[in-house]
Structure 1
């Protein structure tokens, strides 16, 4: 999320006072134990993106020829491209859009090699339509397809493809992300309504990340494995891989039990992709200069192996005690909101104390 405003879901939570805390952990309710982890902490660096145009990478896919990435909503025209990279992160091609995209947040690649760009970000939840752009293999002009939600605007950053090549949009709501799908075939230039197909509730973890518990709650990216038999959703902190039986992606992510891959302390992790052989997950953080002077780095994590496909618990991974550098766009606003919330709760407690003392007198 490249905008410098608080997302709507955060503003609503902060405005409700203690509602944010209560929604995540109601008073007296048992808190779910962290999900078992199945991957070593920390990714292996693959390559560093040095092109100055790529400063807010929000979507990525891997192909046999290298990588494809997009920026978040970019103010500079030169950054509003679909960038093709070699395996060592050198930009070889940059494809323009025929019109300005609003907020590109994720990428997917179809079985035929078509690149799908998810123009679905909406921090203020004010867009009347969202969109996906389709770029055919070797093409130089992506085609726009507009979509509408059935229940009002949503902020979203994750795109999946079903076995028959239909897009699924997963919203960013913390704790219960909605799943939306087109009700009919997409038509270039036309607007197609979507239907809500369910919601995703990801298990809790304790993975260290700059945004704390909020970073473990919101869906920031997704990917479909090359064989279509697995999909993965990610937060700022973790990746959750689901098995997909019978090509039922919606059923898999709404009722399946994911295997968790911790992605600890990524500066602002929003992108995730499978390698073409399906053996690894690739990630990259949106923010450059985190810490100052650094460039976005592609990280590689092993996919949970077949021996753990049954979801059997594995030993939890220890967490690094070293604090991570906060992302420049999100964390200051989150911490500011938490500070206001904490001050409000403290004030309520002081008022109650004074009243109690007056009553006793």
Structure 2
């Protein structure tokens, strides 16, 4: 989740992007259904919401790595978005970014954010029903540090972490059972490539490429990943979430113009997708609002082409063309497959320029130590 600073963009983002071949039809954002308002959150401790999950009694939410101790808690809300209780951590989390709830009611907190990619371990906290404190489980990546904001649970209750990076996002799973007080290595199980859309959002092109949250349907038969712009729902067969993400064709729900959308959940009856945005940096009086979107009915057909990119869909050019604002915590390490597809036909721009430009973006949120 990103905190704002006065500087959002950078003159170094001088990348000419040409959209290459596409194989998934994208719904027209202009025809996107208007979401229904579920409730508004008036508790001043919840302004940088990075994770949300719906429960039978309401919602569970977390902020990102907040400075104030009162914000670094697990928040339980009723169906009207009023906070009814909070749970503290036994030690300070680093950067909590997403939530999940297991079939037994265990709440999973994904402490996996790492904007600067310096963490030697990431963590998952589990809060069992009736427990007073969550339990810490540490994990390591097999290929260096990653920033991540999405947590899913597969049919066996195994956590699945999806990284926040452009192009192809990494899908990681623990190599064995989690153990309290121990560090478990993760394996790279595959990569997920999201279709490119034209949905308007605060970060334009970049906002459509970065995975900022995820959720598993109550019946386990589907999962959803979201970006700042859209939700992508995948069918799950036999509980195999990895296979769904790495080999499935998603259905797309545009989430246009959410101010800082990073959270997504299924409703408890599984009929809707729910989102909430943070409001830090928004106009005074803006309240975080839980929105409800209808789930898509059918998969997007293969073999269709994407609409041509408009000026607002292109990154800034050296000649001063269309401009955009990159998310403050954009991952500069675009996957190899994403680079080929997104920069197709750009023979004059070296990959190093893209890396330099993105690294030059001033990140508005730093991971707290």
TM-score with structure 1 setting the length: 0.80
Output aligned runs, 1:150-165, within 5 Å: 150-165=142-157
Name the residue aligned to 1:278.
Answer: 270
Residues 125-168 of structure 1, C-alpha deviations (whole Å, 9 max, x = no match): 00000000000012220000000000000000000001000101
State the 4+ residue runs in structure 1 displaced beyond 6 angstroms.
none
**What is the distance in 1 between the residues matched to 2:299 and 2:329?**
36
Give the number of aligned pairs: 315
Greater RCO structure (CA 8 Å; 6+ sep): 2
Shift of 1:245: 1.1
Q: Larger C-alpha radius of gyration, 1 or 2?
A: 1
- Could you list the runs of 5+ residues in structure 1 that have no partner in the other structure? 318-329, 338-344, 349-361
**What is the distance in 1 between the residues matched to 2:287 and 2:61?**
15
Contact 1:59 1:69 in 2 (8 A): yes
Name the residue aligned to 2:164.
Answer: 172
Name the residue aligned to 1:70.
Answer: 62
Name the residue aligned to 2:360.
Answer: none
Residues 315-360 of structure 1, C-alpha deviations (whole Å, 9 max, x = no match): x99xxxxxxxxxxxx858599x9xxxxxxx9xx9xxxxxxxxxxxx
Contact 2:123 2:139 in 1 (8 A): yes
Q: Which has the higher helix share?
A: 1
Name the residue aligned to 1:190.
Answer: 182
Residues 52-110 of structure 1, C-alpha deviations (whole Å, 9 max, x = no match): 10010000000101100000110000000000000010000000000000000000000
Contact 2:24 2:303 in 1 (8 A): no
Match for residue 232 of structure 2 among 207, 219, 240: 240
Name the residue aligned to 1:126.
Answer: 118
Aligned to 1:104, the other structure's residue is in SS state coil
Match for residue 36 of structure 1 among 27, 38, 55: 27
Name the residue aligned to 1:80.
Answer: 72
Mapped pair 1:252 → 2:241: no
Shift of 1:118: 0.1
Name the residue aligned to 2:296.
Answer: 304
Contact 1:49 1:296 in 2 (8 A): yes
Aligned to 1:46, the other structure's residue is in SS state strand
**What is the distance in 2 between the residues matched to 1:21 and 1:126?**
30
Shift of 1:248: 1.2
**What is the distance in 2 between the residues matched to 1:274 and 1:332?**
25
Contact 2:226 2:262 in 1 (8 A): yes
Match for residue 202 of structure 1 among 194, 197, 217: 194
Contact 1:41 1:263 in 2 (8 A): no
Contact 1:34 1:204 in 2 (8 A): no
Name the residue aligned to 2:46.
Answer: 54
Name the residue aligned to 1:112.
Answer: 104
Name the residue aligned to 1:341.
Answer: none
**What is the distance in 2 between the residues matched to 1:182 and 1:334?**
25
Residues 176-209 of structure 1, C-alpha deviations (whole Å, 9 max, x = no match): 1000000000000110000100111001111111
TM-score with structure 2 setting the length: 0.78
Output aligned runs, 1:284-299, within 5 Å: 284-288=276-280, 290-299=282-291
Aligned to 2:238, the other structure's residue is in SS state helix
Shift of 1:268: 0.5
Output aligned runs, 1:91-110, within 5 Å: 91-110=83-102
